[in-house]
Homo-oligomer: A and B are copies of this chain.
């Protein structure tokens, strides 16, 4: 899991558990906020694929997804946050904090987010649709193993 956190950009927080409960709660809230933002922006892209395709809106949404994917998401899984409550009891399964396979799942997600941003930059609806499908696959792979239903 240390390797997973390193891939996700986490260094200090991976080895230094929080001293204060408030920090745990703030981190769990930030984690939940990150996924909410991902959902909001994938929702925008989905709506544009199903209806009128506004290339600019799709591009800004894809850029936001890519930026969040590249942000310090590993720090959002810092020690102590396994049982944090946040805005609601965390849905992250214990395996999300211990399984080495998280490295690959996270790497796949970041790559797919980059590919989607590149496709959105190109402005071709079919290319965006294909890249969006690939991204969805990486989301599902993580949800299947590491998120409670």
Q: Say if the beta carbon of A49 comes within 8 Å of chain B.
A: no
Q: Say if the beta carbon of A64 comes within 8 Å of chain B.
A: yes
Stretch at the interface among A28-36, A127-135, A137-145: A28-36
Chain B residues near A75 (CB-CB < 8 A) = 44
The answer to whether B72 and A60 touch across the interface, beta carbons within 8 angstroms, is yes
- Give the interface residue-count category, chain A: 20 to 34
Q: Measured between alpha carbons, how far is A40 from B72 in the docked complex, in Å? A: 10
Interchain nearest-CB distance for A63 vs B (Å): 5
Interface residues in A17-54 (C-beta closer than 8 Å to B): 29-30, 32-34, 36-37, 39-41, 44
**Secondary structure at chain A's binding surface: helix, strand, loop or mixed?**
helix
Chain B residues near A44 (CB-CB < 8 A) = 72, 75
Q: Measured between alpha carbons, how far is A70 from B41 in the docked complex, in Å? A: 12
Q: Say if the beta carbon of A57 comes within 8 Å of chain B.
A: yes
Most chain B C-beta atoms within 10 Å of own C-beta, residue among A32, A67, A87: A67
Chain B residues near A71 (CB-CB < 8 A) = 41, 60-61, 63-64
